[in-house]
Amino acid sequence: MPFVTEDYGVCYPGEKINLKKGDIIAVKPFLTNTRYNLVFPPLSILSTECNRKLFSTIWVDGVKINGKEQVIMLDGNIEVSGEIEVLSPEMLAAYTAKKILGNTKLRIDDKNHGIIIIGIENKPIISVNNRQVIIHTKMRQEILVPLAYSVFYFISSEYSEEI
């Protein structure tokens, strides 16, 4: 649970495309004061590059990117369409992604590379293999990359217990 200072700002899900070391991806909703008290949804990004600056220091349930994470993106070989399926119900960020993506069409790699966390039509979108998170498409990176990083909160105590 990272401690976030006033030099950070908040971006809504999908607003910040390029993540960098030090950015934080929220895995649960959080309340903050960015001129007004607002509740931001999971998948929001806290970064020094976001425009909605914080007016106070806060704690956020989230993943702070440290550069050691292994997120692998695969090229697609088949096309699937429909709503994404959240196969791990404790991942609130996945429900945010599902709402944003709606009925979507993606070109995915359909090979199973581990445990499927997020799928579509019984095919993998995001899976976990050991300490690697695999994104089975290069499409919709603005949503799926932060979602992939949010998986680390659940698979590694390093992120869920950070103080």
**Tens of pLDDT along the chain (163 residues)?**
788 999 999 999 999 889 999 999 999 999 998 778 899 999 999 999 999 999 989 999 999 999 889 999 999 999 999 999 999 889 999 999 999 999 999 999 988 889 999 999 999 999 999 889 999 999 999 999 999 999 999 888 766 544 3
> What pLDDT does 163 receive?
38
Q: Is 15 in a helix, a strand, or coil? A: coil
Domain shared by 75 and 52, yes or no: no
Per-residue confidence (pLDDT) for residue 36, from 0 to 100:
80
Domain boundary residue, one of 45, 65, 85? 65
20 shares its domain with 38: yes
Global pTM reads: 0.92
Tokens 């692998």, residue located? 72
pLDDT of residue 160: 54
Query: Among 18, 38, 65, where does a domain finish?
Result: 65
User: What's the rounded Cα separation, in Å, for the pair 113 and 98?
Assistant: 22
CA distance 70 to 147: 13
Residue 67: predicted pLDDT: 87
Q: Which two tokens stand for residue 56?
A: 């106070």
Number of domains in the chain: 2
Q: Are 30 and 154 in contact (CB under 8 A)?
A: no
Domain containing 91 equals 71-159
Amino acid type, 26: A
Residue 42 token pair: 């999971």
Euclidean distance between CA atoms 24 and 3, whole angstroms = 10
Residue 15: the pLDDT is 93
Same domain for 102 and 40: no
Of 40, 65, 90, the position where a domain reaches its end is: 65
CA 51 to chain centre: 19
